[in-house]
Amino acid sequence: MESKVFSLIKGDIRDLEDVRAACRDVDVVFHLAAATKVAESVRDPRLYHDVNVTGTLNVITSATKSGARRLVFASSAAVYGTPGEVPTPETAPRVPLSPYGASKVAGELFCQTITAHNPTESVLLRFFNVYGPRQLAEGEAGVVCSFLHRALAGEPLVIFGDGHQTRDFIYVDDVVEAMIRSATYQIRDSLPFNIGTGHPVSILELAKEVQRQCLDSSSEIAFEKTRSGDIYHSVAAVERMQHQLQFKAEHNISQGISKTLDQL
């Protein structure tokens, strides 16, 4: 598809020729393509290797071969596993708990080691819990969207565990701004960036905020037993993002839910 502002190429990240075509004559490559479901990665690790590792290798080699100035790679807070420090800094050990997290660690290492021998620069962004309009209501990252859809349908908002587990929810518009800045800032070192708000929100607080904003909803909060492998606290340390990218998330959870609700 062609327009005055973009070209759309339909392809598969696992197809090297598709990726090479997409990277041709490009200044900055934003690599967001990935399989992202933790439970699915446990059931089908080969798929996650093919998409997230081999696919990422295709992107890196295509970006470097085309002469792209910079590659921005969308990594994940899943690389930390159960963090020993909360908020978690970028220097924390990478100890993933799932094949999905492991595939993101591999992607980071390929970015760092391959671009170290090429003119193309790499920037690693570790996204925390991104949410916003048009998000699929699947998985932990989609809990905001899931709660909103259930509330609008009058269905219970199901919390696994006691609800006091915390997440760092960041609105999609803020993520886009962080990505734009990551394409233009002056690189000082090879460390990644956490992309989050730095503010913990408990799942129970999230459910109550959804109830508050969905005024006509009859949804109640329901509790089920904790799911195996769930991390209790996940919050980003954001000082590096603020200092080097000169960026701070603008939306708190209330504002982000309001914007998401307006577009459902």
Entry pTM: 0.94
Q: How far is CA 242 from CA 11, 20, 245, in A?
A: 35, 33, 6
Location of structure tokens 């490559």: 29
Work out the average pLDDT over 89-93.
Answer: 97
pLDDT at 142: 84
Cα-based angle 226, 133, 206 (whole degrees, multiple of 5): 35
Backbone angles phi, psi at 201, to 5 degrees: -130, 125
Please report the sign of the dihedral spanned by the C-alpha atoms of residue 65, residue 6, residue 247, residue 102. Answer: negative
Give 3 or 252, the one with higher predicted confidence: 252
Separation between Cα atoms, residue 25 and residue 113, nearest integer Å: 23
CATH class of segment(s) 8-127: alpha beta
Q: What is the mean pLDDT of the chain?
A: 94
Per DSSP, 77 falls in state: G
The reply to whether 171 belongs to the active site is no
Domains in the chain: boundaries? 8-127, 131-170+197-264
Out of 80, 100, 131, 171, pick the active-site residue: 100
Residue 8, exposed/middle/buried by CB under 10 A (0-12, 13-18, 19+)?
exposed
Question: Over 80: is that where the pLDDT of 39 sits?
Answer: yes
Over residues 99-124, the pLDDT tens digits come to: 999 999 999 999 999 999 999 999 99
The counts of H helices and E strands in the chain are: 10, 10
* Closest of 226, 232, 242 to residue 193, by C-alpha: 242
Q: What would be the CATH architecture of the domain defined by 131-170+197-264?
A: Alpha-Beta Complex (3.90)
- For a pLDDT cut of 90, what percent of the chain falls above it? 86
Query: Furthest-apart CA pair in the chain: how many Å?
Result: 58
Over residues 127-176, the pLDDT tens digits come to: 999 999 988 776 555 899 999 999 999 999 999 999 999 999 999 999 99
* Closest of 237, 248, 251 to residue 192, by C-alpha: 237
